[in-house]
Amino acid sequence: MGVRRICTLVLLLFVSAAAAGCGRQESETIQIGSVHPLTGSMAYEGQAIVNAQQIAVDRINSEGGINGKLLELVESDSLGTSSGAANAALKLTNSGVVALTGTYTSSSAQVVSRTAEKAGVPLVVTVASSDNLLSNGYRYTFRVQPSVTVFSRNFLEYFDYFRTDGMETVALIYENSNYGTGIAEYIAEHIKETGLTVVGMIAYPATAVTLSAEVTRLEAMDPDLLVPIGYYADQTLLMKEILERDITFDRIVGCANGAFSDAKFLETYGDQVNGIYDINYRYNPNSEEARYMLEAYRETYGEEIPVHAIYGYESIMVIADALRRCGDPENPEEVRDALAETELYDHVLPQGVIRFDETGENVNSAGVLVEIRDGKHVIVYPEAYADD
């Protein structure tokens, strides 16, 4: 009986291995994993990124795919938590994806980058700005978007454009993760070089259901310049409180603000938010590729592409460029090496060539200064990418 059991087990293992081998041979797709929050408080942002990625995948496939094989986007819900992101990434790497993308939050990106490194599968970050993300010496993580430091430097570089006469004081209100805290602390430390005095720094959790107390504190501080930093849900709460109380500031200027540069924010508040500025992601208005992305997203999903989702689109295009240059596009190690050698000139972003340094950082990443004017987003600086 013992021998029979052993023989049966060996037979089952042989059949399973053969079936698995046949499955790989019959596969006609190259799979790319997508780890984003598809449920929970950040589901709007996560789903928009995935939608934009699918637009990119569809375009590549309509042009013949990669070496005759179609791309397939495999989604896995991070639940908006680090543990959820870790589980999602492990599931995808075990399933045979050649690359990962993600994750919208820096805390989730940290654990996914760790999983990617252990699995030997490259990760192209869609949205996650923490400076610490690329400080571990990992070989498999690449980031296209600007980091906390880049956004913060952009804020100070563009400062003279939005400074008003008599501006003397500034307050910062920010969500308290590495993203919000990192930008707020950098700006607060360096803005003194402009002659402004920081009169307050107010931190809150991104999961806050009201910012009433925080806005009361802001009103008492009465700064000339208000700098809000946070995600879509919490920043709309902030604006709701400010508008309902009819509080005014000489300038409101976001930095990597998850709401101010989003089309949905304009639909909600319209002309009430005219005059607000934001240093943030944006597409290059001079790019034909960007125009295709905008129109395809609008036609497919019936709305304007949310600004952060642009990096979902570009993440796929960066991976596709690497896949085309691979000897074997289904070998994650070769994909990783091709990503490290990226020189992508034709893209949708308001920057020069996409090129990664030895840490995986996009050396030319940058935000732009956007103004809400007449109910529309208008790039006003740098001049090379200005809408007007």
Over range 257-286, report the average pLDDT: 94
In whole angstroms, what is the distance from residue 303 CA to residue 263 CA? 8
Return d(Cα 186, Cα 167) in angstroms, integer: 20
At residue 387, the pLDDT reads 84
Decide if pLDDT at 58 tops 90: yes
pLDDT band at 16 (very low <50, low <70, confident <90, very high): very low
Q: What pTM did the predictor assign? A: 0.86
Alpha helices in the chain (DSSP H): 2-26, 43-62, 82-95, 106-119, 148-157, 159-162, 178-190, 212-221, 232-244, 263-269, 288-301, 310-324, 332-340
Two tokens, residue 233: 């849900």
* pLDDT score at 14: 36
Q: What angle do CA 88, 93, 99 make, to 5 degrees?
A: 105
- Per residue in 104-114, pLDDT (tens digit) is 999 999 999 99
Q: What is the mean pLDDT of the chain?
A: 92
**What integer is the mean pLDDT of 167-174?**
98
pLDDT at residue 276, rounded to an integer: 98
- Give the Cβ contact number of residue 108 at 10 Å: 28
pLDDT score of 1: 42
How far apart, in Å, are the Cα atoms of 40 and each of 54, 78, 80, 224? 21, 10, 7, 35
As given in the structure block, the two tokens for residue 332 are 């994650």
pLDDT tens-digit readout, 178-232: 899 999 999 999 999 999 999 999 999 999 999 999 999 999 999 999 999 999 9
Indicate whether 388 pLDDT > 90.
no
Q: What is the pLDDT of residues 78-106, one digit of tens each?
A: 999 999 999 999 999 999 999 999 999 99
Nearest CA among 92, 124, 119 for reference residue 109: 124
CA distances from residue 118 to 94, 111, 139, 212 in whole angstroms, order as listed: 11, 11, 10, 44
Residue 152 has pLDDT above 80, yes or no: yes
pLDDT, tens digit (0-9, with 9 covering 90-100), for 292-340 = 999 999 999 999 999 999 999 999 999 999 999 999 999 999 999 999 9
